[in-house]
């Protein structure tokens, strides 16, 4: 049963999430934090932080780690499979058909219409991280870390992994 | 065999060098598949990318899988996908397990709290990025209307986001073929 749940928790986000791996994050959060309650919001944030600090696709890293947490190595394999396989198999099997419709307005509008919904989900996740930060580290520390990382991420070319390290160091030194 | 090891190396490198999630890895895939190994032509690459983008799910693994398949069949597909994903999944599990082992320590709890605002900013950036892309294709009004309606359904009425997105995708697919005028507007980028 747990394996079925792991499969569903990653299959659904990946079969509706248009816009590559990042689009899938809020949908996965909805399943693993909201629906199945496998992780707290803070644990999800930690996972996402490390995921952003490491290279390679974000969706598969999240799937592999969360699957492993929930149901060991089989869980990791199932979650990664549910993330990668459905759309890849569809692409391999239906390549010819898809090729014909690759510039179709209807097909394009699918990903275009889904985008604002993903945007809302991402916005909501941003909000819940803010609430989580204020509840945990407090308003002052959340504003300082958030402000500094916003400047570093948006105004400089500093690597996101370094910004993640800044947050970790600040937390270890000042919040511990 | 040589092709399989080349595929493994190429996508292993892409996996190690590609930061920022799948979409930002596409130039690296292009570098390896088109330029270094000349497995596929430039035009072919663009077509595959366009097709990949008509489907949901992560883009980097779709590109890895389809290119691997072109080069060496099913085995090639498997090797490319595994090479781009598995090494960093294992790294991720090891690092986070080690981190969790010390979760009782005060300073580790501080680290957990310190990271949340950073992730919040990253998520805000993604939200903004999707907003801007959406504004280009649907306009400000269209983006806000769809966004507000979806937000109301999901957070107001508790509808599963999958149902909302699924319904929108079906509507997009099943609606009558757009008239040429609509079509020309749809193409404006």
pLDDT, tens digit, 9 for 90 and up, residues A24-73:
999 999 999 999 999 998 899 999 988 888 888 889 999 999 999 999 99
C-alpha distances (whole Å) from B189 to each of A108, A160, B35, B137, B138 are 12, 29, 28, 6, 10
- Would residue A121 count as lying in a domain? no
Residues 6+ apart with CB under 8 A from B144: A116
From the candidates B18, B92, B108, which should be mutated to test the interface with A, based on the most A CB atoms within 10 A? B92
Sort out which chain B residues have CB atoms less than 8 A from A101's CB and list them.
Answer: 54
Q: Do A125 and B123 touch (CB under 8 A)?
A: yes
Residues A145-159: tens digit of each pLDDT:
999 999 998 888 888
Centroid of chain to Cα A30:
10
Sort out which chain B residues have CB atoms less than 8 A from A20's CB and list them.
Answer: 21-23, 58-60
Q: Do A112 and B134 touch (CB under 8 A)?
A: yes
Res B180: pLDDT: 53
- What is the pLDDT confidence band of residue B189, given thresholds at 50, 70 and 90? very low
Q: Do A24 and B57 touch (CB under 8 A)?
A: yes
Closest CB to B117 among A14, A101, A133: A133
* Torsion of Cα atoms, B94 then B100 then B106 then B108, to 10°: 40
DSSP-derived 3-state class of residue A102: coil
Residues A135-145: tens digit of each pLDDT:
988 999 999 99
Centroid of chain to Cα A91:
22
Q: What is the mean pLDDT of chain B?
A: 88
Q: How far apart are the first and last CA of chain B?
A: 43
* Torsion of Cα atoms, B71 then B72 then B74 then B75, to 10°: -130
- Would residue A171 count as lying in a domain? no
pLDDT above 90: residue B102:
no
At residue A124, φ and ψ (nearest 5 deg) are: -65, -40
Res B183: pLDDT: 53
- Would residue A125 count as lying in a domain? no
Number of domains in chain A: 1
Q: Does A95 touch chain B (CB under 8 A)?
A: yes
pLDDT: which is higher, A22 or B9: B9
- Would residue A58 count as lying in a domain? yes
Closest CB to B88 among A30, A54, A141: A54
Res B145: pLDDT: 95
Q: What is the mean pLDDT of chain A?
A: 91
> Computed over its alpha carbons, how large is the radius of gyration of chain B?
21
Sort out which chain A residues have CB atoms less than 8 A from B161's CB and list them.
Answer: 16, 26-27, 30, 117, 121
- What is the pLDDT confidence band of residue B182, given thresholds at 50, 70 and 90? low
Q: Do B113 and A171 touch (CB under 8 A)?
A: yes
- Would residue A93 count as lying in a domain? yes
Sort out which chain A residues have CB atoms less than 8 A from B154's CB and list them.
Answer: 120-121, 124
- Would residue A61 count as lying in a domain? yes
Range of the domain at A14: 2-103
* Torsion of Cα atoms, B151 then B153 then B154 then B156, to 10°: 90
Q: Do B88 and A126 touch (CB under 8 A)?
A: no
* Torsion of Cα atoms, B179 then B182 then B187 then B189, to 10°: 180
Q: Do A145 and B118 touch (CB under 8 A)?
A: yes
């Amino acid at each position: 049963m747990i394996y079925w749940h792991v499969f569903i928790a990653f299959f659904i986000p990946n079969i509706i999430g248009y816009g590559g791996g990042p689009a899938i994050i809020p949908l996965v959060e909805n399943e693993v934090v909201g629906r199945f309650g496998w992780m707290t919001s803070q644990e999800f944030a930690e996972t996402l932080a490390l995921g952003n600090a490491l290279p390679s696709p974000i969706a598969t890293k999240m799937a592999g780690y969360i699957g492993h947490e929930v149901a060991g190595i089989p869980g990791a394999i199932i979650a990664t499979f549910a993330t990668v396989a459905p759309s890849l198999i569809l692409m391999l099997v239906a390549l010819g058909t898809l090729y014909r419709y690759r510039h179709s307005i209807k097909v394009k509008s699918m990903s275009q219409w889904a985008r604002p919904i993903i945007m809302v989900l991402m916005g909501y996740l941003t909000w819940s991280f803010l609430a989580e930060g204020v509840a945990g580290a407090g308003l002052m520390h959340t504003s300082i870390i958030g402000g500094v990382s916003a400047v570093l991420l948006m105004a400089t070319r500093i690597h996101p992994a370094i910004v993640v390290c800044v947050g970790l160091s600040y937390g270890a030194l000042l919040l511990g | 065999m040589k092709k399989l090891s080349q595929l493994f190396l190429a996508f292993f490198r892409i996996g190690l060098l590609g930061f920022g999630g799948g979409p930002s890895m596409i130039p690296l895939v292009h570098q390896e598949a088109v330029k270094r190994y000349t497995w596929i032509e430039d035009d072919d690459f663009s077509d595959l990318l366009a097709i990949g983008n008509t489907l949901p799910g992560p883009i980097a693994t779709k590109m890895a899988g389809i290119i691997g398949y072109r080069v060496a069949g099913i085995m090639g597909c498997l090797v490319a996908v595994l090479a781009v994903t598995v090494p960093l999944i294992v790294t991720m599990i090891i690092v986070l397990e080690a981190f969790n082992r010390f979760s009782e320590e005060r300073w580790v709890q501080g680290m957990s709290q310190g990271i949340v605002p950073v992730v919040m900013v990253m998520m805000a950036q993604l939200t903004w990025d999707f907003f801007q892309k959406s504004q280009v294709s649907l306009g400000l009004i269209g983006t806000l209307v769809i966004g507000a309606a979806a937000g109301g359904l999901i957070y107001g009425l508790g509808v599963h986001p999958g149902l909302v997105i699924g319904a929108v995708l079906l509507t997009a697919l099943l609606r009558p073929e757009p008239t040429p005028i609509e079509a020309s507007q749809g193409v404006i980028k």
